Chain A
Amino acid sequence: MRRLLATLSVRQKLLAVVLLTTLTALLVAIAVMVGFDLRNYRQSLISDMTTQADLLGRTTAPALTFDDPRVAQENLELLHYRPQIRAAAIYSARGKIFASYSGRDGREFPKLPEADGTRIEGNELVLFKRIVDSREILGTVYLRADYELYDRLVGYLGIAAIVAAIAMLVAYVLSRQLQHIVTSPLLAIADVAREVTEKRAFSLRAPKLSKDEIGMLAESFNTMLAEIERATRDLQASNEVLGREIAEHNRAEQEILRLNAELEQRVKERTAQLEFTNGELEAFCYSVSHDLRAPLRAIDGFSQALLEDFPKDVPEEAQRYLSRIRSSTQRMGQLIEDLLNLSRVSRGGLERRDADISELARQVVTELQGREPQRKVDISIWDGMRANADSRLLRAALENLIGNAWKFSSKTDQPRIEIGSLSDDGRAVFYVRDNGAGFDMAYANKLFGAFQRLHSGNEYQGTGIGLATVQRIVQRHGGRIWADAKPGKGAAFYFTLESDGVERASPDMAEAQA
């Protein structure tokens, strides 16, 4: 029932409720009325019949007293004016039938009278009433009458059905006419709600058609719609802001990408230029290496040939000139060699590995001693000096530094060379120190320039490229190199192999920084 109701529309539900209520009320009313009426009928029938029996008793009492059944019979015959009484009888005090009357259909009478009382037998009422006169029981009246309860009931039900039908019809018509008072505001709200949902038109408002709960519902619904409309507007606004921000962000990103691409392009161009320049430089070095040396070899070779093949034809002075030519060509050969070395340390990759500086220094010293075994130099090399560096380049640097120390201490009485390290703020500083010729710190700023020499070629041989090469190597490691010296008291060269953020060393020290 409930489920059936749930599927109905509000209109149908209202109708059903009204009809059901009307029907129930009607049925209850009819039931009560019928019940009341039937009780009344029964009571009035019983009292009517009791009165009738009393009346009969009074009128037949003399006949009984005088034992005159004819009078009694006449009295009974009068009952045919009351057709509802079907049968009647008078019993004598001894219980014999004294007189009897039968109505429409002949009927048997009870053989003996019973005590006073009434009872219903089917659709008949049976009544016994004693006839008493001055405390003497003269006889008994027996009455049997129609008890038409069912007929009445059926009649009533018929009326009830007709009344109910009419009432329902009226109720139906009335409620059909009146229900729109209740449903139309609801349906209006429902219509608006549907439209809002379908079209997302939050600006719509439900009409307030009544001042009852539905009216309040409409108001609440409108308030809610207003709230949603405001929230939606806010949301749209913030969405727009967000959209603009995203667009801005995208634009910025595009810009960054574009700039990056531009930068990359520039780097590519620069790299290409650099590669081209490098290539040219390499070609140049190759050419120097090959072509510049060949004529030197020829000059030297044929000078030698001249000396060897015509020993008698070349005067002594000319021979001295030729040997000067030869030593010059050899110096130039050395110069070319050193220049190539300098360019080689600038080119090529830097392969940093754990390098044993002590071991490299020992190798260099061994080589120097092998070249000039007659020299006695006191050399001390600290153990365990290590650095993360390119050992090939590092060796070239040490060759130059130790080679210099070796060279410039050659005219000292007790030459001493020390290769060690000290710690400056936890950073290793390596040094090569000698007690040789030294130099004037006034010229220290020229130390590391290529072809710069602080000693004449007569004093010490050299091309002036060695320290430039060392500086280049140190710089490629991100380190720096500086020197400290005094004329006649020796020189010390310090270098680091890692970059530092430390400010420059004291200004009285010559230095070069990466």
Chain B
Amino acid sequence: MPQKMIMVVEDNPDDEELTLRALRQAKIANEIVVTRDGNEALEFVFGRGQYEGRNLERMPAVILLDLKLPKLSGLEVLKQLRSDPRTKLIPVVVLTSSSEDEDMLRSYQSGANSYVRKPVEFGSFANAVSQLGLYWLLLNETPPRA
């Protein structure tokens, strides 16, 4: 069985690097795909645009999704993922700087599995990311394929 894949949707290169570093530190060696805006994220999962012809059998095991993204916002990406039978069941963790209740509520309403705030302090941030990775990759049982 091929390794589970993580997709990170993150436009800020600093946050991207810190996220990847945190995952690395947590000894998570799974394949990590990074997309840098909402549109690219959707193109990847549905094999469109620059990802035309991608093997669609291989779907990310978990998507770490920032809310504030260029082109398509995180919430819109989330809604499109949830409305397609191929991606409806992929766990999506909203990873954002926002501490607004409104954002959290709308994320859960749109079908997010988790909502995690990015702390300013790197230690806490790394901790949060590694725990997420561990949880969704190792402990969580993915739903059987339809």
Given contacts A290-B68, A294-B14, A301-B18, contact A333 B98 (CB under 8 A): no
Residue pair B99, A300 in contact (C-beta under 8 Å): no
Residue pair B121, A294 in contact (C-beta under 8 Å): no
Residue pair A295, B100 in contact (C-beta under 8 Å): no
Q: How far is the CA of A30 from the CA of B79 in the complex (A)?
A: 131
Given contacts A301-B125, A304-B122, A304-B123, contact A294 B99 (CB under 8 A): no
**Nearest-CB residue, chain A, relative to B66:** A290
Residue pair B99, A297 in contact (C-beta under 8 Å): no
Q: How far is the CA of A298 from the CA of B14 in the complex (A)?
A: 6
Is B140 close to A, CB under 8 A?
no
Is A337 close to B, CB under 8 A?
yes
Taking the nearest CB of chain A, how far is it from the CB of B122, in angstroms? 4
Is B97 close to A, CB under 8 A?
yes
Is A296 close to B, CB under 8 A?
yes
Taking the nearest CB of chain B, how far is it from the CB of A314, in angstroms? 16
Given contacts A297-B118, A297-B120, A297-B125, contact A289 B99 (CB under 8 A): yes
Chain A residues within an 8 Å CB radius of B99? 289, 337, 340
Chain A residues within an 8 Å CB radius of B97? 289-291, 293-294, 297
> Which residues of chain B from 1 to 54 have any CB-CB distance to chain A below 8 Å in the complex?
12, 14-15, 18, 21
Q: Which of B67, B100, B119, B121 has the most CB of A within 10 A?
A: B121
Chain B residues within an 8 Å CB radius of A298? 12, 14-15, 18
Main secondary structure of the interface of A (DSSP, over half): helix
Q: How far is the CA of A303 from the CA of B120 in the complex (A)?
A: 12
Total B residues in contact with A, Cβ cutoff 8 Å: 19
Is A329 close to B, CB under 8 A?
yes
The 0/1 profile, CB within 8 Å of A marked 1, for residues 103-128 of chain B is 00000000000000011111101000
Q: How far is the CA of A332 from the CA of B121 in the complex (A)?
A: 10
Is A286 close to B, CB under 8 A?
yes
Is A17 close to B, CB under 8 A?
no
Is B96 close to A, CB under 8 A?
yes
**Nearest-CB residue, chain B, relative to A303:** B122
Is A358 close to B, CB under 8 A?
no
Residue pair B100, A286 in contact (C-beta under 8 Å): yes
Task: Give the number of residue pairs across the A-B interface with Cβ within 8 Å.
Answer: 66
Residue pair B100, A297 in contact (C-beta under 8 Å): no
Is A305 close to B, CB under 8 A?
yes
Chain B residues within an 8 Å CB radius of A302? 14, 18
Given contacts A294-B12, A294-B14, A295-B14, contact A300 B100 (CB under 8 A): no
Q: Which of A295, A298, A329, A332 has the most CB of B within 10 A?
A: A298
Residue pair A300, B118 in contact (C-beta under 8 Å): no
Residue pair A330, B120 in contact (C-beta under 8 Å): yes
Chain A contact-residue range equals 20 to 34
Residue pair A300, B121 in contact (C-beta under 8 Å): yes
Chain A residues within an 8 Å CB radius of B118? 293-294, 297
Residue pair A300, B122 in contact (C-beta under 8 Å): yes
Q: How far is the CA of A326 from the CA of B68 in the complex (A)?
A: 25
Q: How far is the CA of A298 from the CA of B120 in the complex (A)?
A: 8
> Which residues of chain A from 264 to 305 have any CB-CB distance to chain B below 8 Å in the complex?
285-286, 289-291, 293-298, 300-305
Taking the nearest CB of chain B, how far is it from the CB of A199, in angstroms? 80
Given contacts A290-B68, A305-B21, contact A297 B96 (CB under 8 A): no
Q: How far is the CA of A302 from the CA of B120 in the complex (A)?
A: 12
Q: How far is the CA of A289 from the CA of B123 in the complex (A)?
A: 19
> Which residues of chain A from 432 to 450 have any CB-CB distance to chain B below 8 Å in the complex?
none
Chain B residues within an 8 Å CB radius of A336? 120
Q: How far is the CA of A82 from the CA of B67 in the complex (A)?
A: 165
Given contacts A298-B15, A298-B18, contact A286 B122 (CB under 8 A): no
Taking the nearest CB of chain B, how far is it from the CB of A295, in angstroms? 7
Residue pair B18, A297 in contact (C-beta under 8 Å): yes
Residue pair A300, B96 in contact (C-beta under 8 Å): no
Q: How far is the CA of A291 from the CA of B66 in the complex (A)?
A: 12
Given contacts A290-B68, A305-B21, contact A297 B98 (CB under 8 A): no
23 A-B pairs within 8 Å (CB atoms) are namely A289-B97, A290-B96, A290-B98, A291-B97, A293-B97, A293-B120, A294-B12, A294-B97, A297-B97, A297-B118, A297-B119, A298-B18, A300-B120, A300-B121, A301-B18, A301-B21, A302-B14, A302-B18, A304-B122, A329-B121, A330-B121, A333-B120, A333-B121
What are the nearest 8 A-B pairs in CB distance?
Answer: A333-B120, A298-B14, A301-B122, A301-B18, A304-B122, A293-B97, A290-B97, A296-B120
Question: Which of A's residues lie within 8 Å of B, judged by CB?
Answer: 285-286, 289-291, 293-298, 300-305, 326, 329-330, 332-333, 336-337, 340
Q: Given contacts A295-B14, A297-B120, could you give 12 more A-B pairs where the C-beta distance is less than 8 Å?
A: A286-B100, A289-B98, A289-B100, A290-B97, A290-B98, A291-B97, A294-B118, A297-B15, A297-B122, A301-B122, A302-B14, A333-B121
